[in-house]
Chains A and B, each alone.
Chain A
C-alpha cells in the first residue's frame, strides 16, 4: 500500500489499473479527460497491459465498451455530462446485453446553458437505464468504488454494467490523500473476469441482443434485468463488508453521520455531502440533534437502508443537486416513494434544490435549511420545494443582464 495525493480522476484511473482492465474505449470530455490521459500514458509506458481506442463519439464508445464486454474481456470507460447523454441510447442498450463493465461518470451540468460546473442531472438521466450507480464523495471512494463496482457488475446474481460517479472539479480536479492498495491484495479481491456465457468464439456461436416480438418476451427480459439490479442490494452489502475486512475502509450503501440520536437528517449525494457534514458539526455545537445520510448506491435504490436509518426521525431535509423540470428534486421523489405508507418511518420531508452547475452551498444555507425543516416538523407540514439562491446572486445576474442590455443598445439593437 502507498499513500499519494491524487485527484478524483487519477483515483479513477488507478481503480481501472488495479482492476487489471483489458480494454478502454475512450472519448475526451471535460472534466473527464485526465482519466483517459493517465491510462493512455500508463499503456505507453508498459505499466498497463491494456488496449485503448479513442472512438469518434460517446455513442460509439459505449457501443464498443458493451461489445467488448460481450466478447469476454474486462472493460473500463469514462465520460461526463453531454457525453453521457450522447451515449444514452447505448446505455440502455448495453445494460440489456447483461455484459458487465464499469463506466466512470464525472458529473457536470447539462446544456442549456452549456457549462462545466457539476451537478447530477447528467447521471440521473441514466437512472432508469439498467446501469447500477455508485456515488462518491471523496477521491479515496472513487478508487475503492471502482474496485467494488467490478465485483458488483460481474457478480453472477447481477451481471450489469455499473456507473461510478464523482463530481466534476470538486473531486475530478481536487487532490486528496488516497491510499493505493497493493496490487496483489486487489487481485485477490477483484479476481479474474469470468465472462460466463457472454462471449464470442468460433466453437460456441451465439446470437446476442436479438430482437423479440411482442410484450411477453420483452417484459420477461426487462423484468429479469430489474430483478438482477435488485439483487445488487444484498450483493453490494456483502462486497463492501469484504472490502472493509480487506482494506479497512467501509463504503456502506447509505453512509450515516451522527444520525443515531438525530431528530432531523440531511440527505445528499456526492461530494457536497461533505459540506452537510461540516454544517452538522456546527449545528450539533449549537445543540441541534441533526445528522447526514448519503446514499452511495442509487441504483439499486437502498430503500430498506433508508427506512431503517430514518425510523423515528421527525424531519428530513433532502438537498438535491439536480432538478427535474416541472417536478423538483429527484432524490426527494425517490425517498418519498421509499418512505410513503411506512408506519414506523414517516418523517416530514422537506425539499431543497442547490448546487446546480457547481454553485456553492454555504454553511449559512445549511443552517437556514435546518430552521426551515424544524419549522416544518413543528407544523407537521412540509413547505413547497425551495430553490437555493441568495439576494447577492440575483444582484450579480441583474448586473450581467444590465451589461448585456447596454452592449445591445450600443449596437443599436432593440431590447
Chain B
C-alpha cells in the first residue's frame, strides 16, 4: 500500500467502529492488496469477489447467513455484518448495476467506497469519478479530464436506501458519527469516502490530511448524509476557501497554474462549486 493513502486512513477509522464481527466483500481495486496470502490486516472475515459484483457477493453471504440462522445451524452470535468494500472504479461504473439491484432488493449491508477519483490501482487512469480538469494517465492534454465527476451520491440516494453518506478520513468526528449511525440501521447503507491519493493526485504523502480538509473547506467534497428521504449537510463550510487552494496543492491540477494560469478553467470549476452550495444554503 502507498504511504499517505487517504483510503486506508478512512477504512482504518471505519474498521475501528465496525469491529471484527464483519465480513468484508471486496471488489478489484487498491484494497484488494490488503489481504495477500497468507496475511491480512483484518481481524474479521474477508471475501474477494471480482470488480463488478461485490454487492452480489454480499447478497450471497447475507442470504447464506440468514439461511443458517433460520435453519438454526448457527447461533445468533455467529452472525456477521456484511460490508462491501470497493473503489470508485467499481462503484461508479462496473459495479453500479449490482449495487443498484442490491439496494432495490433491500439487502442488509454496508457499502464503503473509497473514492480516489480514478482507476488508482492501475496507475490513475480517469474514471467516472474523476473531477473535471484533472490530469490522469489517460487525460494528459492541456485541459486535463474533459468530463465531470458522476453524482453517485444522488444516484445511490435515488434508490431510497436506508442511509447514504459522504465522509473523508481528515474529518474523523464527522466520519465516526456517520459510521455509528450506519451501523445502527438495517437495510442498504452506503458510504462514500473521499480518498486523497498521493501517487495518483501527485502531492507529498505527508499532506493527505490537509488535502482532505481542503476538499471540505473549499466545498469541493460536501459532507452530507441522506436519511429518511432527506439530504442534510453535516459540515457546511460557511467561509468557503477558493477552490484553487485545494487544486494548487495537487500535481494533477498543476497545468491550471503553470506555465500560466488557466483562468477560464479555474473559474468554471469555482462556478460549479458555488452553484452547488447556492442550492444548499
The distance from the CB of B85 to the nearest CB of chain A, in whole angstroms, is 13
Across the interface, which residues of B come within 8 angstroms of A201, CB to CB? 74, 78, 80
Task: Name the residue of chain B whose CB is nearest to the CB of A209.
Answer: B48
Among B40, B66, B77, B101, the residue within 8 A (CB) of A55 is B101
**A205 with B44: CB separation less than 8 A:** yes
Interchain CA distance A286-B57 in the complex, whole Å: 58
Task: Name the residue of chain A whose CB is nearest to the CB of B43.
Answer: A205
Most buried by A among B32, B42, B49, B74: B49
**A60 with B101: CB separation less than 8 A:** yes
**B60 with A56: CB separation less than 8 A:** no
Query: At the interface, yes or no: B50 with Cβ under 8 Å from chain A?
Result: yes
Interchain CA distance A209-B32 in the complex, whole Å: 10
The distance from the CB of A197 to the nearest CB of chain B, in whole angstroms, is 13
**B68 with A72: CB separation less than 8 A:** yes
Across the interface, which residues of B come within 8 angstroms of A25, CB to CB? 59-60, 63
Across the interface, which residues of A come within 8 angstroms of B66, CB to CB? 51
Question: What is the interface of chain A mostly: helix, strand, loop, or mixed?
Answer: mixed
The distance from the CB of A159 to the nearest CB of chain B, in whole angstroms, is 17
Beyond A70-B61, A201-B74, A207-B46, is A64–B37 a contact (Cβ under 8 Å)?
A: no
Among B21, B73, B100, the residue within 8 A (CB) of A202 is B21
**B47 with A70: CB separation less than 8 A:** yes
**A55 with B56: CB separation less than 8 A:** yes
Query: At the interface, yes or no: B155 with Cβ under 8 Å from chain A?
Result: no
Query: At the interface, yes or no: B267 with Cβ under 8 Å from chain A?
Result: no
Query: At the interface, yes or no: B71 with Cβ under 8 Å from chain A?
Result: yes
**A60 with B61: CB separation less than 8 A:** no
**A67 with B67: CB separation less than 8 A:** no
**B47 with A209: CB separation less than 8 A:** yes
Query: At the interface, yes or no: B262 with Cβ under 8 Å from chain A?
Result: no
Query: At the interface, yes or no: B250 with Cβ under 8 Å from chain A?
Result: no
Across the interface, which residues of B come within 8 angstroms of A63, CB to CB? 49-50, 53-54, 56-57, 60, 98
Most buried by B among A22, A55, A64, A211: A64
**A56 with B40: CB separation less than 8 A:** no
Name 7 A/B residue pairs within 8 A (Cβ), A-sorted. Answer: A51-B66, A51-B67, A63-B57, A201-B78, A210-B36, A212-B36, A213-B37
**B80 with A67: CB separation less than 8 A:** no
Query: At the interface, yes or no: B105 with Cβ under 8 Å from chain A?
Result: yes
**A210 with B49: CB separation less than 8 A:** no
Task: Name the residue of chain B whose CB is nearest to the CB of A210.
Answer: B35
Across the interface, which residues of A come within 8 angstroms of B77, CB to CB? 202-203
Query: At the interface, yes or no: B5 with Cβ under 8 Å from chain A?
Result: no
Q: Tally chain B residues at the interface, Cβ within 8 Å.
A: 48
Task: Name the residue of chain A whose CB is nearest to the CB of B57.
Answer: A67
Among B35, B53, B63, B78, the residue within 8 A (CB) of A90 is B53
Most buried by B among A61, A63, A211: A63
Among A68, A89, A217, the residue within 8 A (CB) of B60 is A68
Query: At the interface, yes or no: B25 with Cβ under 8 Å from chain A?
Result: yes
**A67 with B49: CB separation less than 8 A:** yes
Contact residues, A188-236 vs B (CB, 8 A): 200-203, 205-213, 217
Query: At the interface, yes or no: A187 with Cβ under 8 Å from chain B?
Result: no
List 5 other contacts, CB 8 Å, given A63-B53, A210-B46: A23-B64, A73-B67, A200-B65, A201-B80, A202-B77
Query: At the interface, yes or no: A93 with Cβ under 8 Å from chain B?
Result: yes
Across the interface, which residues of B come within 8 angstroms of A90, CB to CB? 49-50, 53
Task: Name the residue of chain B whose CB is nearest to the CB of A213.
Answer: B36
**B205-233 near A? 1/0 per residue, CB < 8 Å:** 00000000000000000000000000000
Beyond A200-B61, A207-B40, is A22–B71 a contact (Cβ under 8 Å)?
A: yes
Query: At the interface, yes or no: B10 with Cβ under 8 Å from chain A?
Result: no
Query: At the interface, yes or no: A57 with Cβ under 8 Å from chain B?
Result: yes
Across the interface, which residues of A come within 8 angstroms of B20, CB to CB? 202, 205
Across the interface, which residues of B come within 8 angstroms of A206, CB to CB? 45-46
**B56 with A71: CB separation less than 8 A:** no
**A67 with B60: CB separation less than 8 A:** yes
The distance from the CB of B108 to the nearest CB of chain A, in whole angstroms, is 13
Across the interface, which residues of A come within 8 angstroms of B59, CB to CB? 25, 53, 55, 60, 64, 67
Contact residues, A25-69 vs B (CB, 8 A): 25, 49, 51, 53, 55-57, 59-61, 63-69
**A65 with B50: CB separation less than 8 A:** no
Among B33, B50, B68, B101, the residue within 8 A (CB) of A71 is B68
Residues on A lying within 8 angstroms of B by beta carbon are 22-23, 25, 49, 51, 53, 55-57, 59-61, 63-73, 89-90, 93, 200-203, 205-213, 217
Across the interface, which residues of A come within 8 angstroms of B71, CB to CB? 22, 49
Interchain CA distance A211-B32 in the complex, whole Å: 7
Query: At the interface, yes or no: B23 with Cβ under 8 Å from chain A?
Result: yes
Among A60, A202, A208, A210, the residue within 8 A (CB) of B79 is A202
Across the interface, which residues of B come within 8 angstroms of A202, CB to CB? 20-21, 77-80
Task: Name the residue of chain B whose CB is nearest to the CB of A217.
Answer: B37
Most buried by A among B44, B55, B61: B61
Across the interface, which residues of A come within 8 angstroms of B55, CB to CB? 60
Interchain CA distance A206-B40 in the complex, whole Å: 10
Beyond A200-B23, A203-B78, A205-B43, is A93–B60 a contact (Cβ under 8 Å)?
A: no
**A67 with B25: CB separation less than 8 A:** yes
Query: At the interface, yes or no: B234 with Cβ under 8 Å from chain A?
Result: no
Q: Name the 4 nearest CB pairs between A and B, nearest first.
A: A67-B60, A71-B64, A60-B56, A64-B60
Interchain CA distance A60-B96 in the complex, whole Å: 12
Interchain CA distance A57-B233 in the complex, whole Å: 35
**A211 with B33: CB separation less than 8 A:** yes
Beyond A25-B60, A53-B59, is A59–B53 a contact (Cβ under 8 Å)?
A: yes
The distance from the CB of B65 to the nearest CB of chain A, in whole angstroms, is 6
Interchain CA distance A217-B20 in the complex, whole Å: 27
Query: At the interface, yes or no: B138 with Cβ under 8 Å from chain A?
Result: no
Interchain CA distance A316-B45 in the complex, whole Å: 53
**B65 with A65: CB separation less than 8 A:** no
Among A55, A68, A89, the residue within 8 A (CB) of B64 is A68
Across the interface, which residues of A come within 8 angstroms of B56, CB to CB? 55, 59-61, 63-64, 67
**B36 with A64: CB separation less than 8 A:** no
Task: Name the residue of chain B whose CB is nearest to the CB of A74.
Answer: B67
Task: Name the residue of chain A whose CB is nearest to the CB of B79.
Answer: A202
Interchain CA distance A25-B21 in the complex, whole Å: 25
